[in-house]
Structure 1
């Protein structure tokens, strides 16, 4: 355990070997979402999360994430959840509605249930921005889920 000025500090723990992780992925913008998922599952495996302790659920789009994440969180079967998807700006205000409501819903799920949810839903202006970020964001979401699950267990 680390310390700063002799104050106890928890170090990040990325050991996922004892964790159960649920993934909710949008089918809208499927190529981008598949890239996010590949990076996410690779990172989960790298950190020891067993495939038999992982479940992937797909939903039509980003606005459907919160209700499924909530159901999974309340099931007691998961230590952490990951939301994966892509909302790419179009010509209408719909982008703002989807992005804002999805993010608020995901945040509400983790605050209401105490189960951490790593938000790996990209919100970008272009498809190019999304494809260039999908590998990094998918892996970051996996690592966030592992770290937060372990931190909550330590607390």
Structure 2
């Protein structure tokens, strides 16, 4: 039996992968920073720049349908969801956070395709800014690692 948990370098080798990114434009300063960090990390992990597709949508609730459309193409080894939801004074935060998160998970399971969910849910802008670069990089690493893992166990 092969060990599906190979060494760190192999798990994070993106040279043979194609990755799709869906970015929400709402809170665009934050989501742009997420996207830059994510794409920079994907390239650092070896994913060829011409095998990274990046699309944008209005907000976090629109991310899942774009992910679903990309998944149906069958061209990607993993997808990445980028967005930023900042708590306001109404229940809308909970609605958007819960529904977008659940829908991203549903698309991943239905498509049998890993999706790194980096839709930030924060209390305020300062928290979002503090997380934007790290979470963008994390999303890239999760996408590459999960794509490689599924290659070995499916």
Common fold by TM > 0.5: yes
Contact 2:26/2:83 (8 A) holds in 1: yes
Aligned with 1:51 (options 49, 52, 65): 49
Aligned with 1:93 (options 82, 91, 94): 91
Q: Using the alignment, how far apart are the partners of 2:36 and 2:56 within structure 1?
A: 14
- What is the TM-score when the length of structure 1 is the normalising length? 0.94
Aligned with 2:81 (options 77, 83, 96): 83
SS at match of 2:79: strand
Displacement of 1:110 after TM fit?
0.6
Q: Using the alignment, how far apart are the partners of 1:71 and 1:103 within structure 2?
A: 17
Runs (4+) of structure 1 moved beyond 4 Å? Answer: none
SS at match of 1:55: strand
Tell me if 1:10 matches 2:8. no
Q: Using the alignment, how far apart are the partners of 1:29 and 1:62 within structure 2?
A: 10
- 5+ residue gaps, structure 2: none
User: Rg larger in 1 or in 2?
Assistant: 1
Residue number in structure 2 paired with 1:67: 65
Q: Using the alignment, how far apart are the partners of 1:9 and 1:144 within structure 2?
A: 15
C-alpha RMSD of matched pairs (Å): 1.4
How many residue pairs end up in the alignment? 150
Residue number in structure 1 paired with 2:107: 109
- 5+ residue gaps, structure 1: 3-7
Tell me if 1:145 matches 2:143. yes
Q: Point out the structure with the larger helix share.
A: 2
SS at match of 1:18: coil
- What is the TM-score when the length of structure 2 is the normalising length? 0.94
